[in-house]
Every structure is written in structure tokens, then in C-alpha cells.
Amino acid sequence: MSSDPATRRLWIGIPGPTLDDATRATLEDVRPGGVVLFRRNVASLDGVRALIRSLHELLGPDLIVSVDHEGGLVTRFHRELTVFPGNMALGAAAYREPSMGEHLGEEQGELSARELRDLGIRVNLAPVLDLATSGDNPGITIRSFGAPAELAEKLGSALVRGTLRGGVLPTLKHFPGKGEATVDAHLDLPVIPDGDQDPHLLPFRAALRAGAPLVMTSHVIYRALDAERPATLSPAVVNGLLREGLGFEGVVVSDDLEMGAMRRHFGFDDVVQGACAAGHDVLCIAHDADLHRRAAALLRAGRDDGAIWYGDADVVAARLDGLRFPAAPTPPDLARAASVAEAIAGRAITILRDEAGRIPVAGPCVLALPTLRRETEVEDPLRGEEDASALADALGETEIVRLSTEPTGEELDGLLSLAGDRTLLVGSTNARFLDGQRAYVRRCLQEHPRAVLLALRSPFDAEVAADLDGSVVLSYGFRAVQLRALAAVVRGATRAYGQSPV
């Protein structure tokens, strides 16, 4: 099937791991230029290869298959490919050893890209370059390298270089940097008040110099740049700041136009037209087939009518045609990739506080684990089963107590009674934002004489216990490779090398 010049601007999601009749009909009607894969599309590696072959058979060889595969929280292949610890773990490793961190980042970029390219994926919607300048930012946290712009400059550029070398095109996000947002754009529209955005631009400038060919914008209003419109709909941000200010001549991609930040505040037609008018070449719509068809109809009509909002069709086509996909590299190296993931995880573990000298921990322990409630499409929740068991096995002599996301008083009574004189490892998964989990952490550290807080997700969880005694260890994520590294530090098998980058 030949491509449609108007609808090649659409990158859409599909519902499952195979092309059923309804999905085929949608794809034939819409004729998108790209398909974005999500976890729902992954049943097995062979299944993904077959799915991508089917997509190309239906839509042609120029179809661009992409994926959000950042590592850490946003990992579409949870078991099937190498799971790298994620940006902030890399940041914690690099904050103490900058040159080693850059080396590991470039290695990660290449090795992860080789695995993706082997499946037929040609674009990774990563790396995230947002700075973790605020603990109140629920949509970013450990997806960021950390707070220092210089750290994100170096590590973002390293990932770009490695990804290109591995045969995949990287995508910088979320321009112009949403580190100061205090609302998750998956749920609602963040507004960043007037302030200096320049530090947040530094990682983007550096990564563009490293050769990044795509940039994804953010669903955020930046009062200092455009007082009324989010970056998604703002010509001042896209055509002005990114194109004219930074001189970017590549492809600009929107974030998912179905996210709450857009859906709750703007009509869908206005979003499609506004994103094009702002200067986007590609519009991402991740889920709804009806919206895919609606967007296709709008784009075709805009092109045929010569609508001002559609933009210059020849310029958009030239940018998309200008994407140069690297030659396929050597095959994946799973052993080397696993070694790099372990090196990042091991060097990231941080003992934030241990005045009481409770680490290393000897003897039997009780490990308390609240589940991580899934509220958005971003994260894979920690349900506690497989990974928690892996952590307990690595610790040895450890009894797991699984708790609610926000543990009740009754649960805490039972936990403290059960722990007795054993060391209590207080796992946290979202204490920074959940009142019930904050109360759980504080009560355990106040009432148990041998409590150790394990912040399994965000280092900002440590803030809820900043005024209390007790030891605090940061892992910057809960993937299995990180939990094994955490156990090794807690038990004293290895020393902690990491330094918190926030």
C-alpha cells in the first residue's frame, strides 16, 4: 500500500500483539506513517517480529515502528529484552564517577538499540532530558537523570551517541523540559510559572549537537514562553524556540494527544490542528481507533484545502524523508548488555543516611512492601510477586510482608508485631505523594528500633523521614537487576558507590 502524504504524519498505537480484522481495517483507513508499540503489543520476541512484518506487509516498507523503551519505569519489554535500570540510576552512578557514567550511558544506548533494531524497531522515544529539579513532579521522578543540567547534558548525549551507533534513532523529550511541573500530564495539564527555562534547555542543546534527529514536545504551559498555550500547541515554543532558537531542522513529534493534559482542556480537532500549526511534523495518538480515523480525516482535509494550520506540506515531507536510519549493526550482545545493566545498578545504590550504623544488616529480616498503584500508562506497577521474591531471595533470611499501596493502621500493627526484634526493611514505592504510605514510613521508623528505609522508586521518598532517625538506602527503581544490587549493599556483600543526583 502506498503511503498517504497527509496521514504519514500520524504515529498511532494498536490494541494487541497481532493484527485482527478491526485493527487491519483501521490501519488501511488511516494509513499512518508510524506505529508505536506498547506493552500490550508484546507477547514474545518472535511475536513482535511477526507483528512488525505484518505491519510492513500491510503499510509498506517505509512504515516507522517506534517504542518508548527508556529503561527503569518505562520499559515496554519487561522480561524479553535487557532491562536497564533507568535514567536516575545512571545519574547516581555518574554523579560520583562522571567519566564512568558517560561510558556506561553510551554502552547502554548502543546495546539497547541493537536489541530493538534486531526486532525491526527503528525509533526509540527516548531519552528523557527533563531535570528532576522538583520533588513535586509525579510524572518524571526517576525517569530523569537528576537535577544538575550538566549531568543530563553528558548522559543524554552519551545515550544519543550510543543509540545511533546501535542502529536506532533516538528522540529527545519532553521539550523544552518539564522538570518544574507539579502535575502529571497523563492526568491533567501542568502549568510552569514564569521562571528561567534556560537551564532546562541545556541538555537538549547538547543532545542535538550529538546528532539526535527527533524531538518530542511536552503537554505543559510554560508561562515564560507562551502564557496561554501548552508547548504542544505553541508556535512560540516549536517554530520559535526549537526551530529558530536552537536551529533544529529535524522531525518534531508530539506526545500522545490522548493524554489528560489535552483531553481535559481542548477539543480533539483543535488539538490536531493546533499541533500542526505549532510546527509538529508527527502527531502521536496512542490508543483510540476512532480518534485515529478522525485525525486522518482532518489531516487529509487540511492538506486538500490548503489550510494554514496544516503547514507547508513539502517542508514536512522533506523532514520526514530526511530521517536517515543507521545501517543495521552487529547482532545483540545479551551477555554484555546484562553486564552493563548490572554495572549501572550496582554503582547507583546509595546509602543516603546511616548514622545509626544499621548497614550492613546481619541476621533475619522482615521486608515490608507496599504495592505501587497504577494510575497512568507510564509505569509498570510493582505488584510484589516476582521481583519482591527475587529481592527476598537475594537478601536471605527474609520474610516478605506485602501491604496495601497506602497501608492501614491495622496492617502496621501486624507488621510491627511480626517484625519483633528482627531488622525491619521498610520498602517505599510512592511515599512522597501518598499520605497513607508516608504515615507508614514514619511510623515504622519511629517505632521500630532497627528500621531501614529502602526507597525502591523515588529518592524523594526519603524526604518524608528527613527528621527521623533511621537508615535510608536508595535504589532508584525496582527492576530485578536493581533489587539484586540493593540486596548486596544491604547485606554488605558490596559497598554503596552511588550519590543522589537530586
Cα maximum dimension of the chain: 76
Please list the alpha-helical segments (H only) found in 360-399: 386-395
Cβ proximity of 58 and 28 under 8 Å: yes
DSSP H or E run through 335: helix 334-348
Mapped onto helix, strand or coil, the DSSP state of residue 166 is coil
Cβ proximity of 214 and 171 under 8 Å: yes
Handedness of CA 185, 474, 151, 154 (dihedral sign): negative
C-alpha atoms less than 13 angstroms from C-alpha of 291 in its C-beta half-sphere: 22
In 10 A of CB 188, how many CB atoms? Answer: 15
Question: Strands 251-253, 423-428: parallel, antiparallel or unpaired by DSSP?
Answer: unpaired
* Partners of 428 in beta bridges: 455
Handedness of CA 18, 22, 23, 29 (dihedral sign): positive
Cell output for 227: 502564557
The identity of residue 357, as a single letter, is: G
The catalytic residue positions are: 186, 255
Q: Return the DSSP state at 356.
A: T
The identity of residue 294, as a single letter, is: R
Q: Return the DSSP state at 243.
A: I
- Distance, C-alpha 218 to centroid of its chain: 13
